Amino acid sequence: MSPRSAPVSPMARATLETRQRLRFGSSMTMPSRGARTRSGERPASRSWSASPALVRAALGSAAGLTLAVVLGEPDLVVLVSPLAAYAALALLRRPHLTPRADTRVDHRLLVEGEGTTWRLALTDADDVEHLTRIVEHTRFLVSDPPHGAVGGLVRGVPNNGAPGGGAPGKTAPGDTETGDNESGKDRVGDLPISPRRWGLHDLGDQVIVGSSAWAGFRWRPTPPPSGGRLTVLPEPSPFDADAELPQPDGLVGAHRSRRIGDGSEFSGIRVFGAGDRLRRINWRVSLRTDELHVDTMRAEQDSGVLLVIDAFADHGRSGGVDGSPSSLDLTVRAAAALAEHHLRTGDRVGLRVMNGGNLVVGYGAGIHHLVRIRSALAQVRPSTPREGSSDRLRFPCPPGTVVFVLSPMLHQTSVNATATLASRGLPLTLIDTLPAGIDVAGGSDHRDLHDLAWRMRLLERDALLRQLSRVGCPVVPWRGPGTIDDVMRRLSRRAALPRELSR
């Protein structure tokens, strides 16, 4: 073994320290007890502090022994001996390692109502005997236990002994029980959580406190580890539609087109021509007429769908996925349901959010595009447009695009945008997402005045909806399955009517 890698003896280390003090002075900072050196020692804990119990025991025993000596009363020694014994045991088990705490969440992307686990991992925690973790309460984020405080013994806890084996609510796909080490030290502070509303949720502040043996010393990380943010996708409302979209103009889809093609819907019979397929020959008609005839089919095409979201304001109070919805809850969940339905039938779906940010998601198809739209919906926040921005609203609508406007129709900008889209001759449907029974007064003392003003505002809104209906914009309230069936059938019949072209 070379001299450079040879271990340093305690005597040689003491001699070296004495020489360094004589050379640099007594003010030089030397490695503390247990510091990590070349000999492999661990760093001493500088974040541990004496607990109030240890301070009281030490001061009480010192005061009792002093009085016993001064007053000559040996009975005082017997009285303070339990305190002295406790202080001695706590000092003998004084921690020498600085623990490190880290938190992580099993799933950062969830659907409202699903659950995950906010885990706490400890390293260098050999001196931690008991751990307590308290998490700040956050709205629309429930935990198990509800008060958000968990704790228990760190040493000797098996992997399956963590409090709360699962999250409150549905379990996200792939949510499995994990343990990073055999002793289960990273399982004591785990907290099951479940977001109850869509959106971006910041995990609240937390307090982590560890105590050593005999509760003589306390450890608290400063600052505590941050939990980060959860992205919660909206849960699509129950929805299904049987009616086909009018004017499909894509390549391949599930909607019957007026154009003749290779679909499965019978259209008619005509004389055989060059390029017709032999399997389309209608032999019964051909034998009867002594001339080849073929069956013609209607093409099956996809269509473009644009979802326009009104996020200028949120009317009503949201109760989460388990409570009563607000207007923005109805709007976002209805948009997610419509996007899921049309993407699963092969249509191309785009998204346009009307608020201060003017979020736009281009047209696309497939499951990945559905996740992209739902992620964009999770970022929707109610905000008013900047001055003059409402006049510059642009809607990417190719010819034949079916437009769904989801709005409570209580903002003038959304009314103007809907009228502009209706004037372009597009198949447009306005879906009313204003929930019934909104309590606008709340706990106000002037409840009658608030109710009167709200009724007057609803009368103005009803007049606007009737005007939109007269200009050819159907208005339907959102009621889940079958909401748009009747409207789509009427739009399909209107699209099949002959139109007068102006020259």
Residue 337 lies in a domain: yes
Residue 275 lies in a domain: yes
Residue 256 lies in a domain: no
Residue 397 lies in a domain: yes
Question: 227 vs 103, 202, 205, 369, CA distance in Å?
Answer: 6, 8, 8, 28
Cβ-based neighbours of 63, under 8 Å, separated by 6 or more: 80
Peptide bond into 223 cis (omega under 30): yes
Q: Are 59 and 150 in a shared domain?
A: no
**476: buried, middle or exposed (CB in 10 Å: 19+, 13-18, 0-12)?**
middle
Q: Which of 281, 301, 321 is the last residue of a domain?
A: 301
Residue 239 lies in a domain: no
**38: buried, middle or exposed (CB in 10 Å: 19+, 13-18, 0-12)?**
exposed
Secondary structure in 3-state letters for 11-64 = HHHHHHHHHHHHHHCCCCCCCCCCCCCCCCCCCCCCCEEECHHHHHHHHHHHHH
Answer yes or no: are the C-beta atoms of 395 and 306 closer than 8 Å. yes
Residue 203 lies in a domain: yes
Q: Are 325 and 471 in a shared domain?
A: yes
Q: Are 203 and 63 in a shared domain?
A: no
Number of domains in the chain: 4
Percentages helix, strand, coil for the chain (3-state, rounded to 5) are 30, 25, 45
Q: Are 325 and 294 in a shared domain?
A: no
Return d(Cα 417, Cα 432) in angstroms, integer: 15
Q: Are 415 and 386 in a shared domain?
A: yes
Block mean pLDDT (10 aa), the chain, length 503: 44 48 40 39 58 93 91 88 93 90 92 93 89 91 91 63 45 39 58 94 90 92 84 89 58 48 65 80 85 74 81 90 92 94 85 86 89 94 71 70 90 86 84 85 72 88 88 87 78 56 47
Start-to-end CA distance of the chain, whole Å, equals 101
SS3 299: strand
SS3 412: helix
Counting Cα atoms < 13 Å in the Cβ hemisphere of 405 gives 27
Q: Are 201 and 285 in a shared domain?
A: no
**4: buried, middle or exposed (CB in 10 Å: 19+, 13-18, 0-12)?**
exposed
Q: Are 349 and 459 in a shared domain?
A: yes
- CATH number of the domain residue 206 falls in: 2.60.40.680
Answer yes or no: are the C-beta atoms of 288 and 332 closer than 8 Å. no
Q: Give the pLDDT score at 492.
A: 62
Q: Are 313 and 453 in a shared domain?
A: yes
Q: Are 359 and 417 in a shared domain?
A: yes
Return d(Cα 109, Cα 375) in angstroms, integer: 9
Copy the structure tokens of residue 316.
Answer: 């009503």
Predicted TM-score of the model (pTM) = 0.71
Q: Which of 92, 108, 125 is the last residue of a domain?
A: 92
Q: Are 338 and 458 in a shared domain?
A: yes
SS3 154: coil
Domain residues for the domain of 56 are 45-92
Copy the structure tokens of residue 500.
Answer: 């007068």
CB atoms within 10 A of CB 40: 7
Alpha-carbon dihedral angle through residues 278, 282, 283, 286, given to the nearest 10 degrees = -100
SS3 112: coil
Considering just the CA atoms, what is the radius of gyration of the chain in Å? Answer: 36
Q: Give the pLDDT score at 437.
A: 79
Residues 194, 197, 203, CA angle at the centre, nearest 5°?
55
The one-letter amino acid code at 373 reads: I
Short-list 161, 150, 219, 220, CA closest to 191: 150
Residue 273 lies in a domain: yes
Q: Are 111 and 86 in a shared domain?
A: no
